[in-house]
């Protein structure tokens, strides 16, 4: 939130670093301090993005859009970047606070499906359950890190779904093999892990590939059906429910067999 510029002269850097550390410690010291701190943090405050109702155990929080003339586009709606930013920061923060200071979390990748204009009062909720924390820690125990698939939904005051955000969060211990990796470096062959069941965006992409195989140019060529099914699927927030819907359509129309879907790595439990 507060970063000391690298070009400052050395005599100034040390006291400013101390101030930075103190501010960060206080902001993340309690849920109420976190809410107040982000309310004046320029990247979010300037867009009208606020955090509310952080629970005492950091397992729940809400992100709310306070939109006005200075933060709206020509249609009187929120900018796309503002909506995406609402999905970006809170999940990782809550995960780190729940796991404790021995762990860190970084957004690995993310995407956003725009479905309707975002208006003043648009809201999303984030939950980090005990079960999710146990899943993360078990994954770290096995592989040294864990990539968490997370889905969030932004809705307007009237219940209209504004959009669906998907995020992969990379969680790892602050010390150890993963923390010492060169940032941005690809994994070597000998670092490979046993593949896990596809979730989140990975599952979405596999399901999209299945639809294209069923009805695209190399399949039946029923482009109208391909468009219709994928249009309906993108309005289903949870990737697993998307998979059940799309694969159900594929199987009910005999476009592909169960075996062909399994070859595409779609989990069997989602095929009916």
- Residues 79-90: pLDDT tens digits? 999 999 999 999
User: What's the CA gap between 169 and 127, in Å, rounded?
Assistant: 14
Percent of the chain beyond pLDDT 90?
75
- 199 or 9, higher pLDDT: 199
Q: What is the pLDDT of residue 16?
A: 66
pLDDT in tens, 241-255: 999 999 999 999 999
Q: What is the pLDDT of residue 6?
A: 61
- 120 or 3, higher pLDDT: 120
Percent of the chain beyond pLDDT 70?
90
Q: What is the pLDDT of residue 11?
A: 66
Q: Does the pLDDT value for residue 9 go beyond 60?
A: no
Residue whose token pair is 């796309």: 80
pLDDT in tens, 122-140: 999 999 999 999 999 999 9
Q: Does the pLDDT value for residue 3 go beyond 70?
A: no
pLDDT in tens, 145-187: 999 999 999 999 999 999 999 999 999 999 877 777 777 777 7
Query: Residues with Cβ < 8 Å from 253, sequence gap 6 or more?
Result: 214, 225
Q: What is the pLDDT of residue 228?
A: 95
According to DSSP, the β-strands at 103-114 and 161-173 are: antiparallel
User: What's the CA gap between 170 and 103, in Å, rounded?
Assistant: 10
How far from the centroid of its chain's Cα atoms is residue 235's Cα?
Answer: 17
In this structure, are residues 106 and 179 in contact, taking their beta carbons and an 8 Å threshold?
no
> Among 98, 97, 122, which Cα is nearest to 112's?
122
User: What's the CA gap between 111 and 205, in Å, rounded?
Assistant: 12
Query: Beta-carbon neighbour count of residue 247 at 10 Å?
Result: 23
- 14 or 262, higher pLDDT: 262
SS3 108: strand
**Token pair in block for residue 8:** 């400052």
User: What's the CA gap between 52 and 64, in Å, rounded?
Assistant: 7
User: What's the CA gap between 169 and 110, in Å, rounded?
Assistant: 9
Q: Average pLDDT, stretch 38-53?
A: 93
User: What's the CA gap between 124 and 155, in Å, rounded?
Assistant: 7
User: What's the CA gap between 98 and 56, in Å, rounded?
Assistant: 11
Q: What is the pLDDT of residue 184?
A: 77
pTM, rounded to two decimals:
0.85
């Amino acid at each position: 939130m507060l970063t000391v510029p690298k070009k400052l002269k050395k005599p100034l850097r040390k006291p400013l670093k101390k101030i930075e550390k103190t501010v960060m410690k206080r902001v993340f010291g309690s849920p109420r301090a976190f809410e107040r701190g982000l309310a004046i943090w320029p990247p979010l405050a300037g867009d009208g993005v606020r955090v509310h109702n952080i629970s005492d155990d950091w397992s729940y929080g809400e992100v709310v859009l306070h939109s006005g003339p200075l933060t709206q586009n020509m249609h009187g709606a929120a900018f796309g970047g503002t909506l995406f930013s609402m999905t970006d920061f809170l999940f990782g923060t809550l995960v780190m606070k729940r796991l404790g200071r021995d762990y860190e979390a970084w957004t690995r990748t993310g995407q956003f499906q725009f479905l309707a204009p975002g208006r003043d009062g648009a809201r999303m909720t984030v939950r980090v359950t005990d079960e999710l924390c146990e899943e993360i820690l078990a994954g770290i125990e096995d592989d040294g890190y864990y990539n968490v698939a997370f889905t969030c939904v932004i809705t307007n005051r009237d219940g209209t779904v504004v959009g669906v955000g998907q995020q992969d969060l990379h969680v790892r211990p602050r010390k150890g093999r993963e923390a010492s990796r060169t940032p941005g470096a690809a994994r070597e062959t000998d670092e490979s892990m046993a593949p896990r069941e596809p979730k989140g965006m990975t599952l979405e992409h596999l399901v999209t590939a299945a639809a294209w195989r069923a009805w695209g140019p190399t399949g039946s060529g029923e482009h109208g059906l391909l468009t219709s099914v994928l249009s309906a699927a993108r309005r289903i927030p949870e990737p697993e429910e998307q998979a059940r819907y799309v694969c159900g359509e594929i199987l009910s129309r005999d476009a592909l067999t169960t075996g062909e879907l399994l070859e595409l790595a779609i989990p069997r439990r989602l095929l009916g």
